[in-house]
Amino acid sequence: MRLYNTLTRTEETFVPADGKTVRMYTCGLTVYARGHIGNFRTFVALDVLRRALRHQEGYAMRHVVNFTDVDDKTITASAQAGVSLRAYTDRYIQAFHEDCAALGLEAVEENPRATDEANLRAMTGMIQALGERGHTYESEGSTYFRIATMPDYGKLARLDHEGIQAGARVDADTYTKHDARDFVLWKSTKPGEPTWDYGCGPGRPGWHIECSAMALRLLGDGPIDIHGGGIDLIFPHHENEIAQAECATGRQFARFWVHVEFLNLEHEKMSKSLGNVYNIQDIRDRGFRPSALRYLLMSVHYRKQLTFSFDILAQADAALTRLTDFLARVDAVAGGDAHPEVLARLEAARRAFRTHIADDLNVPGALGVMFEVLRELNAAIDARGVGRPDAEAIRAAFGEFDQVLGVISLRRAEDATPSADDAEITALVEARRLARVNRQFALADQIRVDLDARGIILEDGPAGTRWKRK
C-alpha cells in the first residue's frame, strides 16, 4: 500500500515498523458539542484506511481515537450549562459512539479521554521530561514550550521560520493559522476551572500535550506508524504534538501523517464555530439513512475537498440503492451452471479494486470498478449467463469489497431494523412537503424512496399526504 505522507509531501510505501501490527492514532472529537458530518468525513476516511490495512493488507491494528474532554471550549460550555465537566462531556462521548455505530465505523482498540488519571500523569511526565531537556519555561504559574529550542519546528506545516515569533506566548488552545508562538503545556488554575496537580502545579493541560502523551502511553515508544486527522489540525495541533513528543523523547513521533480534506457547504467550510453544521440526526430528519452519508463521505478522494448538499446526498443514496438492488437480483438467481467468464471477470475486478485501494486509498476508483462489473453482470443475468455457483462467487467478491468500504453491510443492517415510529414518519412527510414546495424534487423523491424501503407507503391527495404501513 502507498500512502501520501504530509510530513514528506510524497506518496510512500507503507509497512508497519514491525511488519505485523499498525500502531495508529486518530485525533478524535473535542466533546463540547455533538460531532458534525464534516468531522465524520475524517472518521469515515480513516475507518476505510483501518479496514484496508486489516482486511486487504492483513495487518493487525492497534488504533487509538481520543476524546479531548478538557480544553477552553469544553470548560466554557460546561460552565454555561451549569454541570460538571465530566457530566457535560459524557453526553457527547455517548453521542459520538452512537454516531460511529450509525455510520458503520469499526470499533477501535482504545478510546482514551484526556482527564483520565493515567493520561494526566503521562502529560505531566512528558512536561517534566521537556523541562529537564531545556524546552520549557514558566510564567505566572503556567508552563510553556519554547519553540526556539527546536531547530526544525514547523517541518510538518512547512512554516516560514522568519514568521516564527520566538519568545511570544499564546495561552489559547487554538490560534491564528501560522501564528507560531511559544504555546502553553500546563495552564495555571483559574477560579471555577477544573484543576489537577500531578507534579506541574495546580492547573490543567493545554490541548496539544494531551494527544502527544496519550499516543505514546497507549501505542508505545515512537515512532508510531500513522497519525491521522483533519487537514485543519496540521497547524498548530499536529505541529505542536511533534514538538512535544520529539523534544521529550529524542525520537521521531510518527512515521506517516494522513490528513483528510474539508467538507464544505457550497464552498464554505463546515464548522461548529460558524454554526453551519449538520449532524447525523439532521441527516435522518431529512429522510436519509446514515449509510447514504457514509457512501457520500467516501465517494470523493480523502485528499480532495467535498461539497455537501442534500441533492448530492440523494445521488449517493441512489448509487448505494443500485448496489443493493443488484445484489438482491443476484440472490434471486436459482439454478444453472458456473460460467468461467464470470469467475474470470470477478477475479479481474478483485485485482483492480485492490490496486485502487492500495493507491493512497483511491475509493472513487474502487467504486468505479464495482459499478463496471455490476453493469456487466446485470447484462449477463439478462442473458441467462449467470448460474447459482456464479451468484455465490459474486456475493463473495462484493463481500470482500465491502470489508474495506463497510457500506453495503450497513445498508442491509438498516433494512433489517424496525420501521420508524409515528413521530419520525410525520416529520419526514413534512420534510418532503417542504422539499416539494421549494422545488427540491430530488430530495422529495428520495424521502419517498427511503420511507418505502422502511415499509411506509405515501398517498398524495387534495387534502395532503397520508401514510400507511405495508
- Region 279-307 average pLDDT: 95
pLDDT at 466: 80
pLDDT tens digit sequence for 399-446:
999 999 999 999 999 988 755 577 788 888 989 999 999 899 989 999
188 forms bridges with which residues in the sheet? 203
% of the chain with per-residue pLDDT over 70 = 98
Cell of 248: 521529550
* Preceding amide of 236 cis, omega within 30: yes
Please say if the pLDDT value at position 173 is more than 90: no
Q: Could you tell me if 301 and 363 are in contact, meaning their C-beta atoms sit under 8 angstroms apart? A: yes
**DSSP letter (8 states) at residue 59:** -
CATH architecture type of domain 2-260: 3-Layer(aba) Sandwich (3.40)
pLDDT at 419: 53
CA separation for the pair 37, 272 (Å, rounded): 11
Banded pLDDT at 468 (limits 50, 70, 90): confident
% of the chain with per-residue pLDDT over 90 = 80
pLDDT tens digit sequence for 314-337:
999 999 999 999 999 999 999 899
Please say if the pLDDT value at position 215 is more than 90: yes
**Cα dist from 130 to 133, 150, 170, whole Å:** 5, 11, 18
- Region 446-453 average pLDDT: 88
pLDDT at 457: 86
Looking at per-residue pLDDT, the higher value among 169 and 353 belongs to 353
Please say if the pLDDT value at position 176 is more than 90: no
- Region 264-274 average pLDDT: 74
Query: What is this structure's pTM?
Result: 0.89
How many C-beta neighbours within 10 Å does residue 263 have?
Answer: 24
Banded pLDDT at 267 (limits 50, 70, 90): low
Q: Could you tell me if 130 and 147 are in contact, meaning their C-beta atoms sit under 8 angstroms apart? A: no
pLDDT at 418: 58
pLDDT tens digit sequence for 111-169:
999 999 999 999 999 999 999 999 999 999 999 999 999 999 999 999 987 778 777 88
Three-state secondary structure call for residue 367: helix
- Region 380-395 average pLDDT: 97
Please say if the pLDDT value at position 292 is more than 90: yes
CATH architecture type of domain 268-415: Orthogonal Bundle (1.10)
Domain ranges of the chain: 2-260, 268-415, 422-469
CA dihedral 279, 280, 282, 286 (to 10 degrees): 140
Span of 111-120, 217-226, 403-412, 451-460 with lowest mean pLDDT: 451-460
pLDDT at 178: 67
Please say if the pLDDT value at position 110 is more than 80: yes
pLDDT tens digit sequence for 241-260:
999 999 999 999 999 999 99
